[in-house]
A and B are shown apart, each in its own frame.
Chain A
Amino acid sequence: MSVRVQPLQRGAWTRASAPSTIGMIGIGLGLVTLFLALPPVKVRTAPLPVAIGILAVAAGIWAFTRGEHRLGGGAVVSGVAGIGIALIVLQANAARLEGVFVWSALIAATLRYATPLTFAAIGGMFSERSGVVNIGLEGMMLMGAYFGAYGADVTGSWVGGLFIGLVSGALLALVHAIFTITLRADQIVTGTAINFLALGVTGYLYNQHYGNNGTPENLPAVPDVNLKFLSHIPPQGLGNFLYNSIGQLNLMVWLSLLLLPVSYVALFKTPIGLRIRSVGEHPKAADTVGIPVYRTRYAAVTLSGALAALGGVFLSIGFVNSFTENMTAGRGFIALAALIFGGWRPFGAFAAALLFGFSSALAARLPDLSASDTAAWPLLFQTLPYVLTLIAVAGVIGRSIPPAAIGRPYVKQ
């Protein structure tokens, strides 16, 4: 009973005016600003969104000065971002705005951009849960991207490409495993080396096999899944919306979604998952009860490479249908940030991947807002995913708790 006394003593007002509540309200107001400025609401005057945005910033500052640094900071960021985007959007004419913010297309693009991140983040999750930092995700993705394209070209089928890409990523991960687990090299330095190696190896082979011509035009691609029945769902608008957003997605997008529950069950509901996690939390204890620490870590790291490579395979033969040098463009690191942001959990990582995917989708479409085709400023939108990652990493760390033994080589006694 005595436990229940405390909440009763605090009145409803005290709770409502607590800095954390105000901070959250501020974040919400920032989102409202965005909502008002964008279709379908589309308020075409500046004062209303700006006023609400200022309220959000004020709430943020209020919360910040009263100790709620993260929520307050978040509210300030969301308010400023809301005002900024509202003002940018106001510059564009209404027709262009409709063209850019086609929500069904944005949802589809978000899922498409999130897919490589999801594969890599889930891969990274297995590795990091077993106690091995995997900075080399980027390189493993790049290997998957090249060998996916190369395999598809050589075998003439996307299945072959997928398989060869997957194996290449796993092999590179095996190198990471040998150096970090057996040779106990620094995991971050080794991961960086893995990234360089992948960049060099894929660039070398790409130049040798394809040279200036690039990968062939008729590269076998992973097929799209056409869910035509969605468009027949009763209200015509809803049906079309569903069909346009999730009706024509690539097979690998669905695979990545399937991977989420599978990896969740594998990691949290099976003995294998328990072993992986125990090896990452307390390898000595795991060793004492007979869990082979080295073998488990080897398996987890290799699996992470295979999954990250799948993300790369999607990039090359599922998304753009060609390979270019360094085409992963930092996505491995964004996936790593998504993993941390999501608290080393599959669905958390997926939510973060969606956020980053959405920012990439926006970055790809926002330049259409510009009236002229030659203006330079739309290039600045390309920084959006990276800025967001920066904010996310800076804002959330400290609250999510990493596996206890992460980054430490284990010395068997």
Chain B
Amino acid sequence: MSGLSGEPPDMTGQTPEVSEPTPESKVPSVAARLALWQRSGGVITPILTALIAFLIGGLVVFATTGKNPLNTYKAIFKGTGLSWLSPVSIHWHLFYPAGIHWTGWDTTSPTALNLQQTLIVVTPLILTGLAVAFAFRCGLFNIGGNGQYTVGALVAVQFGVWFAGLPGPLHVIVAMVAATLAGAVWGGIAGFLKAATGAHEVITTIMLNWIALWVGSYLVGFNGPLQDPRAISAPVTRPIADSAHLHVFWGNPLLQGLHVGFFIAIAMLFVYWILLNRTTLGYEVRAVGFNAEAARYGGISVGRNFFLAMAISGAFAGLAGSIDILGWEFNLDLTVVQTVQVGFIGIAVALLGRNSAIGIFFSALLFGALLTGTSTRNLDPSVFQPELAGNLTRIIQGLVVLFVGADLLIIYLWQARKKLRLPQRKAAEQP
């Protein structure tokens, strides 16, 4: 539908408008340089964006609770376990290190456990980030990641319960493929509607999210067809068969160790890159995303690509749902169905990662760490209330999406920086 946006939103990471000299920018070279940065997958904008978002988030913390935001962020960071990656721990005294201790890589330390948690959360975020990014490259805004994830999780759990006799790897593959296909169908509906009737994908995917939520609630909830008959008092499905569990390669399988789904997500980053940049399909998808009318004129079926892009996006999100089920949840809980957030966070992941595979990995790491660090289990409630911190994550996520779209703001800041520096340089030049 052309009603919401006349042209497909240009969020492909290649914003040609920026390179045009804007009336505000009297120094076009700055904008041009910035555009070059962005085109070469520049990291300045995303990093600035994240910094601004965290800065404002810190202001919110300070203004509402009067607590030192740095301590809050430090506590959150502690819960992420990311410090495990560094073999030394540094105790800072104001601005200089007061002591450096060799900690090494103890794989059983609490920090290691936290890192496993973080990476378990990062795994679906990579995939839902890809689900948003792939649609973006076709000029579509997929905010239906939640619904596609839910559908994938529902199918995965049922396939995990069925076929209990299958050998392990085969069972996992069957469940994953089924979930991926289910996600593809759920995403494909929005793509089909866009192609056939022009219905805007933002509205249709949101509606599909809610439909998935209520159908899932019916299936999983009390007396629903998928509810575990042995657990009458709990709205939860039967646990999947042991043969459908993903292999845990780091940590204790009984304590939610890190499963091989993480590598599947990493592999999907490569699949995404190859699909987009090395296949005819990817070429067509990018052509449609860049300029749908020109693509149509060039003989590319725009509708077909809309459908395929949404279906592939949905497939990524459906896969994410299956990996969570087969990797660590092992059954599906009603509250999980009703409070899924990964699809929405995937939007922030994709936007902050500028829709590039490597960018998505790092921004998924950022948001996964933020989620783990603010969880009830990992955040010290005496430092900051986890309920508040969870919402702080949402605020930061909103700010990231807000600022990532505003290239002009970054250019303003860039110019302001230059203006600040210019007089100094002049003063220095004069003897």
Interface residue ranges, A against B (CB under 8 Å):
133, 135, 175, 179, 182-190, 192-201, 203-205, 207-208, 211, 329-330, 333, 336-337, 340, 374-377, 379-380, 382-383, 386-387, 389-390, 393-395, 397-398, 400, 402, 404-408, 411-413
Contacts and interface: CB of A to CB of B under 8 A. Distances in A.
A44 B330 CA distance: 46
Contacts of A195: 398
B65 interface: yes
Nearest to B397: A196
Contact of A382 (B206, B214, B388): B214
Contacts of B408: 182-185
Which residue among A186, A201, A330 has the maximum number of chain B CB atoms within 10 Å of its CB? A186
Given A185-B405, A393-B199, A400-B3, A199 B218 contact: no
Interface string B3-22: 11111011100000000001
B143 A192 contact: yes
Contacts of B203: 333, 336-337, 340, 389, 393
Contacts of A337: 203, 207
A398 B400 CA distance: 34
Given A193-B398, A196-B398, A200-B397, A394 B204 contact: yes
B393 interface: yes
Given A330-B210, A375-B223, A411-B23, A390 B395 contact: no
B2 A402 contact: yes
B208 interface: yes
Interface in B374-426: 385, 387-388, 390-402, 404-409
Contact of B405 (A190, A197, A390): A190
A204 B388 contact: yes
The 3 closest A-B pairs by CB, nearest first: A200-B394, A196-B398, A197-B398
B60 interface: yes
A211 B387 contact: yes
B206 A330 contact: yes
Contact of B211 (A179, A383, A397, A402): A383
Contact of A188 (B9, B218, B227, B400): B9
B224 A376 contact: yes
Contact of A183 (B5, B221, B351, B409): B409
A208 B4 contact: no
A187 B5 contact: yes
Interface string B215-249: 10110011111010000000000000000000000
Given A183-B408, A333-B206, A374-B222, A387 B199 contact: no
A405 B193 CA distance: 24
Given A184-B408, A329-B210, A397-B197, A196 B344 contact: yes
B128 to A, nearest CB: 14
A201 to B, nearest CB: 6
A336 B208 CA distance: 15
A307 to B, nearest CB: 19
Which residue among A204, A205, A211, A383 has the maximum number of chain B CB atoms within 10 Å of its CB? A204
A337 B206 CA distance: 11
Contact of A208 (B64, B347, B398): B64
B52 interface: no
Contacts of A182: 408
A175 to B, nearest CB: 8
A337 B223 CA distance: 33
Given A197-B398, A394-B197, A412 B23 contact: yes
B9 A189 contact: yes
A185 B65 CA distance: 32
A10 B11 CA distance: 52
Contacts of B11: 186, 189
Contact of B5 (A133, A200, A207, A329): A133
Given A199-B398, A383-B211, A387-B207, 17 more contacts: A182-B408, A189-B11, A189-B405, A192-B202, A196-B394, A200-B391, A200-B397, A208-B388, A329-B210, A333-B207, A376-B221, A382-B214, A390-B193, A390-B199, A394-B199, A402-B4, A407-B5
A207 B389 CA distance: 10
Nearest to B193: A394
B394 A393 contact: no
B1 A398 contact: yes
Contacts of A190: 401-402, 405-406
A189 B260 CA distance: 33
B193 A197 contact: no
21 contacts: A188-B4, A192-B141, A192-B143, A193-B405, A194-B402, A195-B398, A196-B348, A201-B391, A204-B394, A207-B391, A208-B64, A333-B207, A376-B222, A380-B218, A390-B193, A393-B199, A397-B1, A402-B2, A402-B4, A406-B3, A406-B6
Interface string B344-362: 1001100100000000000
Contacts of A187: 5
Nearest to B235: A376
B207 A389 contact: yes
Contact of A379 (B210, B218, B390, B401): B218
B207 A179 contact: no
A201 B395 contact: yes
A133 B344 CA distance: 20
B110 interface: no
B214 A383 contact: yes
B351 A204 contact: no
Nearest to A336: B203
A200 B393 contact: yes
B137 interface: no
